[in-house]
Amino acid sequence: MTVQDSARDSAQDTTQDTTADAVFSRDWQEWHTGQEARLADPHGFLAITGLHWLGDEPRRFPDAPGAWSTGPDGVVVVLDERDARTAGDEGADLVVDGTPVRGEYRFGVLPERGGVNAVWGDAVIEVARRGGHDIVRPRHPNAPLRTAFTGTPAYAPHPRWAVTGRYTAFDTPRPTTVGAAVEGLEHVYDAPGRVEFELDGRPLALTAFPGHGPGNLLVLFTDATSGVTTYAANRALALAPPAEDGTVLLDFNRATNLPCAYTDLATCPLPPAENRLPVAIEAGQKLPRERGGS
């Protein structure tokens, strides 16, 4: 090979690397923009105005219509003339699954981590079950946290934080109890397995929880940046279904904040103890400005 050939090959390699980095950054930016859009949705988590815990005695709340209670038969709301006056002539009804309801309405027993979004005027009234408790969590588009939102700081994406790991399924899913952002609350997940990987030659592992969609996984973790440049309590990383040989990609550039990073009106789970990584993952979303980030 001549000197000219070597120089040409080197230039081609540099061009290919530059192109690959540009594609990597572009894909990340599209993902990040989508994340921000979902967060700032008119009825997203930034629009929450209250976290109301239900009991057997009916209670009224300033940001939702009706008197709410729960019991062995599930959540019940009772609406009367006061609710129509509060909402005005337009949107006076609470609309559940497209049907306006008045008087007494029974939501029934809700599944854990399940819920119903009822519509009230331009607001959505989330009725859900978290940690064995029924809650009402109204979402109003004009919530100050949402209207003041200017985006989430993040580390610049870099391919070094996209690593290949290996997923190993447990013989049977392991019930795993974790704490929550709300003191005294607990969540229980059936962990299907764990993911082992390396960063800079250091072996690490994360217990995985079921993700959104068949075969998808979710890992909750903290690392040495937690409480420094990233949110102290948790971050989350969604994983695509592992390949047949267990291979799975962990792209920490796409590590996200959970809602509790922005608002105290969230019931987010905390990572299991074994998911507290002893290394600094300088990738993904940083501490939100709402919590003092910059």
Question: What are the tens digits of pLDDT across the range 24-39?
Answer: 999 999 999 999 999 9
pLDDT band at 80 (very low <50, low <70, confident <90, very high): confident
Question: What are the tens digits of pLDDT across the range 43-58?
Answer: 999 999 999 999 999 9
Residue boundaries of the structural domains of the chain? 45-147, 150-291
Q: Residue 146 and residue 93: Cα distance in Å, rounded?
A: 25
Listed range (20-29, 61-70, 273-282) with the worst mean pLDDT: 20-29
Q: Residue 128 and residue 223: Cα distance in Å, rounded?
A: 31
Q: How far apart are the first and last CA of the chain?
A: 51
The stretches of the chain forming alpha helices (DSSP H) are 3-39, 81-87, 144-147
Distances (CA, A) of 108 to 27, 75, 101, 206, 249: 43, 6, 15, 36, 40
The half-sphere exposure of 13 on its side-chain side, counting CA atoms within 13 A, is 6
Q: Residue 206 and residue 211: Cα distance in Å, rounded?
A: 14
DSSP secondary structure code for residue 31 in this structure: H
Question: What are the tens digits of pLDDT across the range 206-255?
Answer: 999 999 989 999 999 999 999 999 999 999 999 999 999 999 999 999 99
Question: What are the tens digits of pLDDT across the range 147-200?
Answer: 999 999 999 999 999 999 999 999 999 999 999 999 999 999 999 999 999 999
Contact 264, 207 (CB under 8 A): no
Question: What are the tens digits of pLDDT across the range 111-158?
Answer: 999 999 999 999 999 999 999 999 999 999 999 999 999 999 999 999
- Give φ, ψ of 244 to 5 degrees: -60, -30
Q: Of all helices (H) and strands (E), which one includes residue 187?
A: strand 186-199
Distances (CA, A) of 249 to 159, 196, 256, 276: 12, 11, 16, 19
Hey, what long-range contacts does 61-65 have (CB within 8 A, 24 or more apart)?
Answer: 61/136, 61/138, 63/123, 63/138, 63/140, 64/120, 64/123, 64/125, 64/136, 64/138, 65/94, 65/120, 65/125
> Among all chains, which residue has been given the structure tokens 């004009």?
142
